[in-house]
Structure 1
Amino acid sequence: MPSHPPSRNGATDSEIADIGREQRVIEAAADLLAREGRDAVTTRAVAVAAGMQPPAIYRLFGDKDGLLDAVAEHGFAKFLATKHVDPDPQDLLADLRAGWDLAVEFGLANPALYTLMYSEPTRAASPAFKAGMEILMGRLRRLAAGGWLHVDEELAAMIIHATARGAVLTWLSLPQERRNPALLTTLRESMVAAVTNQEPAVRDAGPAGAARALRAALPEQTSLSSAEQHLLKEWLDRLATEG
């Protein structure tokens, strides 16, 4: 008979206890990070704040880097929880602006956590980060399907992320007296101008806008074979980049 029988969800009592300890440590580290900055997040300080011995931190997270990765994932999950998903927004451009504003507001409200979240490129593999990206790509697919997207979806996502991160990190780097709200508004509107058309492109002459709209709707089509969809996507990609 095992010393730790599995619970109803398949986890042992020991595993459940570890999950609880992990969460306590992550919350303690996140609190230290917010109050005193990244340098304050040492294994000893976190252990004291979480009410346990330092060896327990190493057992749960491997090392300090493992702990910081867990805190960053906690940050992505916290940000994801703030996102409101409207599957059918009345105003697609307003929805895009609202999503950008939300990302920037989160960064400004959680400066140390935000900086940690985006300090390592490898954190793009975070499950919560990927879930957030799916929400963004959903917005971009709706824009493309409506003929509003000026560039392809992947480039649009990069522009949105670059302007939001740049806005947050630049704002945080400025002394209080130089923080002009016009910076945030200007960057947001520059992003909108870069990734969208002033009017839906499908109303204009030329194949590029129509190709983007059709390409966005292509995954929903079921009458084409895989080979046909692949070939059509190749043609649409080529047409969508013209001009």
Structure 2
Amino acid sequence: MSTRAICEAAGVQQPVLYRLFGDKDGLLAATIDHVWDQYLAGKRAAQKSKDPLSDLRAGWDSHTAFALANPNAYKLMFSPALRSEPEAAAEAMRLLREVLERLAVQGRLRVPLAEAARMVMAANTGVALALISRPSLYPDVHLSVLVRDAVYRAILLDIPEPEDIRENDVRKAAATTLLSSLDELTPEPFTAAESALLGQWLTQIAQSGPAD
């Protein structure tokens, strides 16, 4: 984008932009600071519950929700073109560490605190960027929940899962196994139409959720 286009959209002359922000990089830095402030406002206002795991889940989900609601601004927040890391990024990490520290006090962390914080932030940021940058490749926003739970199982001890989720995982694993070998069955017991129908059924089971 050009400073001329920015000034035209804002209805000001270019000298105003340079006087306020120095240059385009200064304007982008101020914009990113503003976006981070909006993001952190919700984090700062979040009320602690009695269960830090619930707070950790809520923090992940609010992060993804912010990215989906503000895709262009979110991309700026994590742009590799930034010359320096915004101070707000450090605050976001600090707020995440506070929740993880509560879990550590309860003896529920299986990895060091700093490592756990980096894993959560990297995974949360990565899946959010994937959802907003490549929606055709990642059309299901539920992917965020799947990644969240996988990461939490990796860093936390004894995360309980409802029985219906465990049973559903078994069904999905069986369906995925059959689906992967459907084309290799010898001799072929099904017609082409039957194989296509079976493949469709197995795909639906493999992609189903607990309530499906």
TM-score range relative to shorter protein: 0.5 to 0.7
> What's the counterpart of residue 112 of structure 2?
152
- CA shift for structure 1 position 128: 2.6
- 2:30 aligns with 70
**Secondary structure of 1:181's partner?**
coil
Shift of 1:178: 5.2
Q: Report the Cα offset of residue 194 of structure 1.
A: 1.7
Per the alignment, residue 169 of structure 2 pairs with none
> TM-score, structure 2 length as denominator?
0.67
- Assess if the C-alpha contact under 8 Å between 1:85 and 1:135 holds in 2: no
Selected match of 1:82 from 9, 27, 42:
42
CA positional deviation for 1:77: 0.3
Residue type of the partner of 1:187? Answer: V
Q: Does 1:131 align with 2:91?
A: yes
Aligned to 2:126: 166
The 3-state SS of whatever aligns with 1:60 is helix
1:57 to 1, 7, 17: 17
For residue 88 of structure 2, what is the amino acid of its counterpart?
A
Q: CA RMSD in A?
A: 2.0
* Aligned pairs, number: 157
Letter in 2 for 1:77: D
Alpha carbons of structure 1 residues 154 and 197: separation in structure 2 relative to 1, 3 Å: same
Is residue 109–residue 156 contact of structure 2 (8 Å, CA) maintained in 1?
A: yes
TM-score by length of 1: 0.59
- Alpha carbons of 1:122 and 1:146: their partners in 2 closer, same or farther (altered >3 Å)? farther
Deviations 1:127-174 (A, max 9, x none): 332322221111011111111111111111111111111111111233
Map Cα deviations across residues 29-86 of structure 1 (whole Å, 9 max, x no partner): xxxxxxxxxx4xx311222233321022112212111111111111100101122333
Partner of 1:226: none
SS across alignment from 1:98 = helix
SS in 1 for 2:157: coil
Mark the runs of 5 or more structure 1 residues left unpaired by the alignment.
1-38, 200-243
The whole-number CA distance in structure 1 between the counterparts of 2:94 and 2:135 is 35
Pick from 110, 113, 121 the counterpart of residue 73 of structure 2: 113
Residues in 2 aligned to 1:184 and 1:130: alpha-carbon distance in whole angstroms? 23
Contact 1:150 1:195 in 2 (8 A): yes
SS at match of 2:142: helix
Amino-acid identity (%): 39
Q: Which runs of 5+ in 2 are unaligned?
A: 160-212
Give the corresponding residue for 1:35: none
Q: Does the 8 A contact of 2:7 with 2:17 survive in 1?
A: yes
Match of 1:179 in 2: 139
Which amino acid counterpart does residue 104 of structure 2 have in structure 1? A
CA distance in 2, matches of 1:179, 1:188: 17
Letter in 2 for 1:118: F
Superposition deviation, residue 98 in structure 1? 0.5
Q: SS in structure 2 opposite 1:179?
A: coil
